[in-house]
Amino acid sequence: MINSLDDHYPLITKEALHHLILASSKLQGTVTIGTTIAYILTGKRALSKRTHLLRETDGLVGFNHATGICICFGCMTGLLKWYEDNRNWKDGGYFK
């Protein structure tokens, strides 16, 4: 049942997610290598725990990965708003 629902989870474009993260106050900096961009969270934890990666692949980022990153950077509201505006998708909601 869950698998059949998973197909309906929306994907966010890498560009949109990029701008959401850049607007976050928890962002300390970024590192770009080739097709990968690393976003570093502020804080005193080990750097590997503060590093989150996005890549130029097909331009889309999976639902789980995007959610994980947005929780860390405190931009879930922006993410859900984006899904609502651009993917006509709302968590637990219905559109008329």
Partner 1 sequence: MKTSAEPIIEVIRHNEKLSSLKVIMPIWNELGEDNKIYTKMPLLGGLKTYSINENDTDIAVKEAIECFCIASERYGNGLENELENIGWVITSSSDIRTVLNIDSSNSMFNLLLQTGETTALDLELEKDLEFA
Question: Could you list the residues that contact partner 1 (CB under 8 A)?
Answer: 6-7, 9, 11, 28-29, 31-38, 40, 46-53, 55, 57-58, 60, 62-65, 68
The rounded distance, in Å, linking the Cα atoms of 12 and 79 is: 8
Query: Which lies closer to partner 1 via its Cβ, residue 5 or residue 96?
Result: 5
Query: Which lies closer to partner 1 via its Cβ, residue 57 or residue 88?
Result: 57
What SS3 class is residue 80? Answer: helix
Report, in angstroms and rounded to the nearest whole number, the Rg of the chain calculated over CA atoms.
14
What SS3 class is residue 44? Answer: coil
With residue 90 as reference, give the H or E element that holds it: none
* Min separation Cβ 48 and partner 1, Å: 3
Query: Which lies closer to partner 1 via its Cβ, residue 20 or residue 52?
Result: 52
